[in-house]
Amino acid sequence: MLVDLENVHKIDLSRLDDSYRAIIYVGAKQNPPKAASKKTTAHRFSRVDFQKIEGAGKNALDFHIAFQLGRTFETAPQTKCVILSKDKGFDPLLLHLNKNGMVCRRINSLDELFPPQIEVRGPTFTVELVACKRCHRASTIEHHGGLWCTNCGCFASPPNPQLLPSRHPGFEDRSREREEDLNIYAVCGWCHRNTDMTGGIYGDGEWMCAGCIDRYAT
């Protein structure tokens, strides 16, 4: 996570888990948060580096973040990068990087990283909205033991192979030409091939073959 402290002034780093490493870019006229030097709160900054910009100028800090993005993807191309800034000027660069196979996004606040919870009165329980890793929308539903995105049709978490329709006793595909054929053949709605649908999924009027499940479930 690359933080533009000139643009976002309040940051609660305690919400980040051990999978994150953060670099906070501090403007030439700014100082790092006082909490970073206090013994009672310094533990929040154990995975954080502070980079103070030496020179002042328009977009000086933004260029430092852009440089760090390039250096990170050059040395560790599988890294997922997040820029915490309300500056939309980063967006064209991030769009270009994502089109070239890298994973990066800009958020206005840390709230965008954590799915909201819906509280329902009556019997006390919470429903966690899991965001899809592909389209980033919280539109996933439980489907065959996994979480399937109704927006883009990908799995946020893969289905349970034991719960697939093809594993159910008495399952048969009505589109088979020969009733004695033990294999299930149909046209996949994703790769558009007439293929064996054993291990595939049928929903919303179309099939997804096992090969497409493997490709889109991650």
Which one is predicted more confidently, 47 or 118? 47
According to DSSP, the β-strands at 206-208 and 201-203 are antiparallel
pTM of the model: 0.49
- The pLDDT of residue 39: 55
- The pLDDT of residue 125: 47
Q: How many other CB atoms sit within 10 Å of the CB of residue 121?
A: 5
Res 31 pLDDT > 80: no
Q: Give the domain ranges of the chain.
A: 2-113, 118-216
**How confident is the model over 76-135, as pLDDT tens digits?**
889 999 999 999 899 999 999 998 889 999 999 888 887 665 555 555 545 455 677 777
Q: What is the mean pLDDT of residues 4-14?
A: 81
Strand partners, 210: none
- The pLDDT of residue 176: 45
**How confident is the model over 138-167, as pLDDT tens digits?**
777 777 788 877 777 777 788 887 777 666
- The pLDDT of residue 180: 41
**How confident is the model over 162-200, as pLDDT tens digits?**
777 666 665 555 544 444 445 567 788 888 888 877 777
- The pLDDT of residue 35: 52
Q: Using 50, 70 and 90 to split pLDDT, how confident is the model at 203?
A: confident
